[in-house]
Structure 1
Amino acid sequence: MIRKQDGQSLVEFALILPILLMLLVLIFDFGRILYTHLHLEMVAQESVRIGGLGQSDEEIRIYAMNQFHGEESKLQVTITPEDSTRKAGDYITVTLSYPEEFMNVLGEAAIPYTLRTDSTIRVE
């Protein structure tokens, strides 16, 4: 007995398509978060370099906010020690934190993630 199987491939493709699309979105989203993390590291290194040259905490924060290509309101800049207690020979650390959502296409089911990086240098 011979049966027609004209729609079999279409049904199989319809079943696998959501998985393929989710995988594609996952790859692009991971790349977006990786780019943001690498950019955050670069901004932290440049900001701490400014602090190492003797600039104030406010100047470091302004520089970090201006150089970052994301939502500046979400970026948190932490500088230790504060400029009032910092002197030549001490180490300064600039920590940047930025909240992100992994797989934000899922809406409410998105995974919250905080990108955090820091850099340390000696004050001259």
Structure 2
Amino acid sequence: MIRKQDGQSLVEFALVLPILLLLLVGVFDFGRILYTHLQLEMVAQESVRMGGLGQSDAAIRSYAFSQFNGDDTKLQIDITPGDQIRNSGDYVTVTMNYPEAFMDVLGGASIPYTVSTDSTIRVE
């Protein structure tokens, strides 16, 4: 007895397609988070450079917010030590944190992730 198997490949493709799409979206989403991390790292390096040249904390924060291409309300910037106690020869550190969600297309099942970077330089 000969059976018709015309729809077999279509059923197999329908079973594999969600897994392939999930992998594809995961690769693009990972690239987006990596881009955010690299951008945040560059902004932190340039911001701490301003602190090393004697700029105030307000000027450093303003520069970081203007250079970052994400949501400014989520970006957290910590500068230690503060500009009131910063002296020549001390080290100043700028730490930046930005919350992200990996696999955001999954909605409530997305994985929360915080992109964090810091940079330190000596005050001139």
Measured on the aligned residues, the alpha-carbon RMSD in Å equals: 0.4
Distance in structure 2 (CA, Å) of the matches to 1:102 and 1:15 = 24
Match of 1:44 in 2: 44
Match of 2:78 in 1: 78
Distance in structure 1 (CA, Å) of the matches to 2:115 and 2:18 = 29
Percent of pairs identical after alignment? Answer: 75
- Structure 1 gaps of 5+ residues are none
Distance in structure 2 (CA, Å) of the matches to 1:53 and 1:106 = 45
Match of 1:6 in 2: 6
Distance in structure 1 (CA, Å) of the matches to 2:73 and 2:62 = 12
Match of 1:62 in 2: 62
- Structure 2 gaps of 5+ residues are none
Q: Work out whether 1:111 is the aligned partner of 2:100.
A: no
Report the count of equivalent residues: 124
Match of 1:92 in 2: 92
TM-score, normalising length: structure 2: 0.99
Which aligned runs of 4 or more in structure 1 are off by greater than 2 angstroms? none
Post-superposition offset of 1:28: 0.3
Post-superposition offset of 1:3: 1.1
Structure 1 residues 63-114: Cα deviation after superposition (integer angstroms, max 9, x where no partner): 0000000001100000000000000000000000000000010000111110
Post-superposition offset of 1:11: 0.3
Distance in structure 2 (CA, Å) of the matches to 1:119 and 1:103 = 28
Q: Work out whether 1:25 is the aligned partner of 2:25.
A: yes
